[in-house]
Structure 1
């Protein structure tokens, strides 16, 4: 079965959309769709697995606990080591931001 990650975007994006594409004991591949979403003001993602993330459409800004921010535009990717505390600071308000995230051990 083929999947086009840029199609079948839900009409209601009042909440972020998380879709598992593949999930095994050692790897999980997820499509995330955001529009104007960000992480809560308090707290950080502190994950047990590494995360490689790529922006397919739109943009996103990842903030790290040390204050460093990385802006990801269409086609940009970033590898985030396990337990590196981070959050999504901003995503596009004007179009869906489509992320491809790979979580691995």
Structure 2
């Protein structure tokens, strides 16, 4: 049995976003992601071969989906499912406090 604290020991400043693997099973991979002002590099888009369900627990972020005119502003409690091969990028994350994400990669 595994357990932990999603909010425990959150860093306030990171050189790069941190990704912690919480579980990896045949149908899903679950990650805790901590951002402290990071964003996707200019011109970079995620294009993943699997769906991703994202839940913002703390902080805030701007997530741009290719083809949409503006980034979606995510606040605590916001979630979305990004289908496979839908290009997206992180435009910004809160530089004043850690942004905590829970990401579930849904393998087919």
Q: TM-score range by the shorter chain?
A: over 0.9
Pick aligned residue for 1:73 from 75, 80, 86: 75
- Residue 89 and residue 11 in structure 1: after superposition, are their counterparts in 2 closer, same or farther (change >3 A)? closer
| 2:24 equivalent to 1:15 | no
Q: Measure the CA separation in 1 of the matches of 2:47 and 2:67.
A: 14
Query: 2:11 is paired with a residue of what secondary structure?
Result: coil
Indicate the residue corresponding to 1:34 in structure 2.
Answer: 35
Q: Which runs of 4+ in 1 moved over 3 A?
A: none
Give the TM-score, by structure 2 length.
0.90
Structure 1, unpaired ranges of 5+? none
Indicate the residue corresponding to 2:52 in structure 1.
Answer: 51
Structure 2 contact 11–98 (Cα < 8 Å) conserved: no
Query: How far 1:10 sits from its partner (Å)?
Result: 3.4
1:77-99 deviation line (CA, Å, top 9, x unaligned) = 11100000000001001000000
RMSD: 1.3
Query: 2:20 is paired with a residue of what secondary structure?
Result: strand
Paired residues in the alignment total 105
Q: Measure the CA separation in 1 of the matches of 2:43 and 2:67.
A: 14
1:8-60 deviation line (CA, Å, top 9, x unaligned) = 22355111100110012221000000011000111210000100001110011
Give the TM-score, by structure 1 length.
0.93
